[in-house]
Amino acid sequence: MNTDLRVRLGALELPNPVVTAAGCAGSGRELAQFFDIAEIGAVTTKSVMLEPHAGRPAPRMAETPSGMLSTTGMQGPGVDVFLQRDLPWLLSRGGRAIISVAGSGTAEFGELARRISAEPGVDAIEVNLSCPDPADPDGRRFADDAARAAAVVSTVRSHARSDLPVLAKLAADVPDVVALATACVEARADGLSMINTVRGMAVDPRTLRPAVAGGIGGLSGPAIRPLAVGCVYRVHEALPEVPIIGMGGVRTGADVVEFMAAGASAVAVGTVNFSDPSACVRVLREFTEALESRGVPRAADLVGAAHRPGTGV
């Protein structure tokens, strides 16, 4: 059976729905020694900022019972190095590039969008809305306020090339994820990525101190998958025409099926890359086998199946 794995994120067509999650594959170079990165749908890069950032002091990561707690502090070389070194390398390997951007303010997001969309070969921009908003006196994230998140998305959209899809990356630990998604779409986001890590904490039992610098980190891995699937389901139900990249604890092809049935058009593989750097191609193979065993001719037929009566496919 020749299964058609192609999926669409608005105007962007991918050869298959498996992509990397931002921050879990660098710019693809780290995984390229384990598989051909052109085999997967796309590489979503680590979030790029305008200027170089050293990030938080160690420790930055801590293992949890069913996942990982991390707080890197947006470490990176800045957009100049990314455009001169990392993006050309990724494109030279045939990888499709979804560029995650993170800004310290709305204007910085706009400048990043302008710089990145001027580069040939970029397939989409993902807007990391989990950055702290410097204008907020309580240090809240852009994602914590739908109006501020929408302002960022609107700025990115107005500075980006008109044919370049803009994807808003949403947090789950917000007052209303559907309201946040709706605000971003009304601000002209072409699609959504969800969910980002969930804020959490671990205490080192030996030192009785926080396990990661800064105390609070982002929880990822299997522990958050039911939360992520639920968010995708609710947002797809409210906005069925809006493409979604689903993510959160994906480890197997069956997990990809689950996210797509909930409403995702593509699915990102994240934390598992740290323990299994060939996970993306394994997950893609398992997903393909799952479609064949169910007799599903097209991957796109799975999208939203859980919302339809019967098997939904």
Catalytic machinery residues: 131
Buried b (16+ CB within 10 A) or exposed e, 42-56: bbbbbbbbbeebeeb
Six-digit token string for 78: 């800045």
Q: Could you tell me how many residues make up the chain? A: 313
Considering only CA atoms, which of 135, 127, 140, 136 is closest in space to residue 22? 127
One DSSP character per residue, 207-274 reads T-SBSSTTS-EEEESGGGHHHHHHHHHHHHHH-TTS-EEEESS--SHHHHHHHHHHT-SEEEE-GGGG
Angle between helical axes of 177-186 and 146-159 (0-180°, round to 10): 30
Considering only CA atoms, which of 179, 184, 183, 156 is closest in space to residue 168? 184
Considering only CA atoms, which of 91, 93, 47 is closest in space to residue 70? 47
- Per the rule left: phi > 0, alpha: psi between -120 and 50, beta: everything else, 306 is alpha
Please name the residues in contact with 226: beta carbons below 8 A apart, sequence gap of 6 or more: none
DSSP letter (8 states) at residue 306: G
DSSP letter (8 states) at residue 173: S
